[in-house]
Amino acid sequence: MKKASTEPLHFVLLEDDPNDAELIQLQLARNDLDITWRHVVSESDFRAALAGTPPDLVLADYTLPGFDGLAALRIVLERSADIPFIFVSGSLGEERAIEALKSGATDYVLKDRLQRLPMVVNRALSEARVRRERRLAQTALEEQRVLLSTLIDSLPEIIYAVDTENRVTVVNRALLESLNKKREEVLGRRLSELWTEESVVDIEGQAATTMRTGRPLTDQERAWIGLDGSVRWFTITHVPLRDHGTVSGLVCTVQEVTQRKELEQEILEISNREQRRLGSDLHDGLGQELTGLSLLMKGLEMQMTRESPQYSAQVTKITDLLARAIQSTRSLARGLAPVNLERGGLPEALKHLVARCTDMYSMECTFTTGGQKLPDLEEGAATHLYRIAQEASTNAARYARATSINIDLRSTGRKLQLSIADNGIGLSAGLAQGRPGMGLKIMEYRARMLGGSISFDEPGEGTRIMLTAPLHLLRQSKDKKRLAASG
């Protein structure tokens, strides 16, 4: 059993009887083993033979003049425990044999039974090779573990792994710093036991769902509220770990995207401010001028009726056109700034939306709140909610051929729920008939901006769109309330 096809095996033979040494070498030569021998007699020669490249195997007599096999075994074990050591002796009794094996010898062969030697040597070499390969594999695994640990510890993202019971099995430095805990305080525990934030419980619930279904969760946005009221945004990813096809846990990553979210919100706020400005200009500028012109036309109409009745019909048409232009201007102004906190906020805006849908599409459209007093919402968040309801209602009327729509807004515990249900042909049928999918994507985007989630269901008849978002991200702050009241 060679190390390689072109390399001989290197054996050290510790034997003071040259005849026995020759018999041992001849016995192994008959086994077609390519061996280079180092035959030694004394301790000094034995130590010299072990220096340099370790031998593949050591054969030793148990008793020698001034030196014994157990002392030789201890020398070999000090150098390397992987070198097979076989006693070949004529004076090795049962007790000594057991003592030798307990001391670390691989095996023993009696000199009057040298025919066993090739088999014993082959087995010893095979076991040594297996041990060596296992050690190399363990070393490689340890190197990979250290590399992976160093890699994930150096990343700014939070990275951790959990088992099927949501207990942490791997954790990186970013999470430890966030928790202000030591690694041993985190491993083996659930995050919800260490982090008393409501969102963490939801994340563990989603992790359990991912492990049950085997479908990864990718880049879901979540918001954390600090003790000082500051909001930090994160994206969460759950990827199942599999053992022979069975989910055995999850690898989870959490990346902070607060700056990106703040930038997106600032861009949207700029857009909303511009729309509100345009709406205000239309209402207070063009709308007022058209209203003044309409009053002048009313006076002119009365005068023409008295003095030149033949022109009164044309003047009446102009007055009617002006009235329609004023109505269109008001509709445009309301559409650009649909939510006004001073005029009832979101509930009032949704009432106007319901009335407009009823008039435009000749359908039954209702708005309900479950009899609740709804909390004051921040204007930007209220506008997002209004746009979602507007998009869903428009799609139901235009593409799903609905004859009734109900918009429901209510708070449930710490969350706000907005539901839009219709009795149309359903979401799937609407998409099959060319219903534009961009509206769905925009609704999903607006839901993420609110830190919430949105679902599109077909409960048997029609479509039900449900948005759920945490109230603490939607409420109007006291500072904004004072600003709105003052200005």
- pLDDT, residue 189, reads 92
Please give the angle made by the CA atoms of 290, 390 and 462, to the nearest 5 degrees: 140
- The whole-angstrom separation of Cα 57 and Cα 46 is 13
- pLDDT, residue 483, reads 38
- Provide the phi-psi class of 254: left if phi over 0, else alpha when psi is between -120 and 50, else beta: beta
Q: What is the pLDDT of residues 90-106, one digit of tens each?
A: 877 778 888 888 888 88
- For β-strands 415-422 and 453-457, DSSP reports them as unpaired
CB neighbourhood size of 100 (10 A): 23
- The whole-angstrom separation of Cα 435 and Cα 64 is 96
Cβ-proximal residues to 77 (8 Å cutoff; 6+ apart), any chain: 85, 104
Q: What is the pLDDT of residues 298-343, one digit of tens each?
A: 777 787 777 777 777 787 788 778 777 777 766 665 655 677 766 7
Averaged over 276-296, what is the pLDDT?
A: 70
What is the share, in percent, of the chain residues with pLDDT greater than 90? 17
Query: Between 4 and 32, where is the model more confident?
Result: 32
Q: What is the pLDDT of residues 107-148, one digit of tens each?
A: 988 888 888 899 999 999 999 899 888 988 998 988 888 888
Cβ-proximal residues to 361 (8 Å cutoff; 6+ apart), any chain: 397
Q: pLDDT-derived band of residue 462, with 50, 70 and 90 as boundaries? A: confident
Cβ-proximal residues to 455 (8 Å cutoff; 6+ apart), any chain: 465, 466
Query: Between 116 and 178, where is the model more confident?
Result: 116
Summary mean pLDDT of the chain: 82
* In the block, residue with structure tokens 């999918």: 437
Q: pLDDT-derived band of residue 228, with 50, 70 and 90 as boundaries? A: low
Q: pLDDT-derived band of residue 486, with 50, 70 and 90 as boundaries? A: very low
- For β-strands 415-422 and 404-412, DSSP reports them as antiparallel
Given a contact cutoff of 8 angstroms between Cβ atoms, the answer to whether 276 and 383 are in contact is no
Cβ-proximal residues to 417 (8 Å cutoff; 6+ apart), any chain: 408, 409, 410, 411, 466, 467, 468
